[in-house]
Amino acid sequence: MAKYFVVLTIIFGAYCWIGCEDPGILKADENFSKSSLRTVFVDTFSIISSTILIDSLPTSGTGQLLVGRYQDAFLGKVSASSFFQIGYQTIFSPGQISTYDSIGLVLPYSRYYYGDTTKAITINVHELSRVNKLTLPLPYRTGEDNSFFVSPFQPALYNSSTVSFEPMPITSVAVKFSPRRDSLYIALPLSFGQNWFDLAKAGALSGVSTSYFSNSSSFITDFFNGIYLTTDGNSDAAIAGFIGSKAKIRLYYKRVINDILQPTYFDFPIVNAAAQFNNIQSDRSATPLASLVRSQAISSKLTSNSTFVQSGVGLATKIEFPSVKSFFLKQNFILIDATLEVIPLENSYSRVFRVPNTLALFTTDATNVILNRLPPFDRSNFLSANIAYDFEYGVNTKYVFSLVNYLSSELTNPSSQLTPIVIASVIPSFFSEVNRVVIGDQNNSRHKIKLKIYYSYAQNK
């Protein structure tokens, strides 16, 4: 038994330095060659790839407002709109001789963006006609430890949710997103702010405790239900992210301070942050994924030997390994290591259309619903991989996942097949961004997904 472990130690050292040598028996020193164990590297296992749609992603409470619209060469038109409520922490009570100045919407950039920010885009600011209400999520199934990334018991709002709003916008403005700057300021009509100021001033003068500006609950439910930020349907530019906790309506006015009329302001920040959500839509009608609906899959054979992952709208790649389990069951093989290489198509991404920094793996079944994270199950971590760029040649950019724990677990369960894998963006990016990646399948001429397995076996003497 001691000799066996010594041999395995030598095996691990051997395959680490041979890298991507041609399939075959690993080279080793003279002592190792006398052993009856041999280690083999194989990367020719069959992989079935398809694209699936994970419908109704919870986008509420992410802390990021998404606004914008762009045209994607692979996945069609993508748009993001944001719904949120504003209120106040302290009573707004301007003095008797205070004077109104102006009002505007302050949106601090989160520095996230996707698309071409050099193009102008028209933003429409609407008033909500009712209050956002959280709803229970769809009945997704989870693992025994309830560690699935969407809790089935937590109310939420989704990328497909909407709230009724006033059709006439408060204002419309053409802007160019500048994510590297501090914030985007959208001036609201002077009359809009004047009405707020006059009501607050009148309430303070009358001493009415039920004034909209002295009762925060009444302000939201009876006076101003919230804001809907959207973009003109003809816009083709970018989607930008803004920090929800710092977004606000700011009302500028002058009041007496130290016996001098001085400029000041009052902020109406986002309140009920859990009810802030982003509606994210994708029009794929002119793409090979036009017929894709929830719980179904479209084979990579029908999409030019490619599959897709896209945050926000719920696109993910499903991977199946039909021959791996039978291969190990037929022989007395010892699994040593396994990796999955996921390679983005060259020229499918750029500075404007960036691939996700990190992808994660989940399990699924014939229903194409995400069931759980890949083992080992850890509530705080996902089995993930960061993008590794090939800056020199641009052809070996890839994500590399370690699958040894997944395969070790799968090879001991009674099922005849390995549990299928879903490749998606890591949480919380999957709910709060719109990055996408185009992945080559096993039959792609240049960018093949690869399952690499190292295993040992006892050679008959």
In a domain, 25, yes or no: yes
In a domain, 159, yes or no: no
Say whether pLDDT at 1 is over 70.
no
Say whether pLDDT at 324 is over 80.
yes
Length of the chain: 461
Same domain, 31 and 81: no
User: Is the model more confident about 30 or about 415?
Assistant: 415
Say whether pLDDT at 12 is over 60.
no
Place of tokens 């990646």: 437
Say whether pLDDT at 247 is over 90.
yes
Say whether pLDDT at 14 is over 80.
no
Which residues span the domain enclosing 68? 64-129+164-275
Same domain, 321 and 367: yes
In a domain, 134, yes or no: no
Same domain, 408 and 300: yes
In a domain, 281, yes or no: no
Same domain, 204 and 261: yes
Tens digit of each residue's pLDDT (9 = 90 or more) over 335-346: 999 999 999 998
Q: How confident is the model at residue 294 (pLDDT cuts 50, 70, 90)?
A: confident
Which pLDDT score, from 0 to 100, does residue 69 have? Answer: 97
The dihedral through the CA atoms of 111, 116, 120, 124 has a sign that is negative
Which pLDDT score, from 0 to 100, does residue 428 have? Answer: 87
The residue out of 242, 275, 308 marking a domain boundary is: 275
Which pLDDT score, from 0 to 100, does residue 378 have? Answer: 52
Q: How confident is the model at residue 459 (pLDDT cuts 50, 70, 90)?
A: confident
In a domain, 59, yes or no: no
Same domain, 8 and 101: no
Which pLDDT score, from 0 to 100, does residue 171 have? Answer: 98
Backbone angles phi, psi at 182, to 5 degrees: -70, -50
In a domain, 344, yes or no: yes
Same domain, 125 and 208: yes
The residue out of 226, 249, 275 marking a domain boundary is: 275
Same domain, 252 and 379: no
Tens digit of each residue's pLDDT (9 = 90 or more) over 253-290: 999 888 888 999 999 999 999 899 999 999 999 999 99
Which pLDDT score, from 0 to 100, does residue 35 have? Answer: 55
The DSSP code sequence of 356-421 is PSEEEEEE--TT----EEPSSP-TT---EEE-B--TTTSS--BEEEE-HHHHHHHTTSS-SSPPPE
Which pLDDT score, from 0 to 100, does residue 165 have? Answer: 96
Same domain, 250 and 354: no
Same domain, 102 and 190: yes
Same domain, 182 and 242: yes
| Number of domains composing the chain | 2
Mean pLDDT of the chain: 85
In a domain, 232, yes or no: yes
Say whether pLDDT at 57 is over 80.
yes
The pTM assigned to this predicted structure is 0.86
Same domain, 271 and 347: no
Same domain, 199 and 226: yes
Say whether pLDDT at 377 is over 60.
no
Lowest mean pLDDT among 32-41, 149-158, 289-298, 314-323: 149-158
Q: How far apart are CA 41 and CA 183, in angstroms?
A: 53
End-to-end distance of the chain based on CA atoms, in angstroms?
19
Alpha helices in 91-215 (DSSP H): 190-206
Strands 48-53 and 315-320: antiparallel
Which pLDDT score, from 0 to 100, does residue 376 have? Answer: 55
In a domain, 146, yes or no: no
The residue out of 233, 248, 275 marking a domain boundary is: 275
Q: What is the mean pLDDT of residues 47-61?
A: 92
Say whether pLDDT at 375 is over 70.
no
Q: How far apart are CA 122 and CA 313, in angstroms?
A: 22
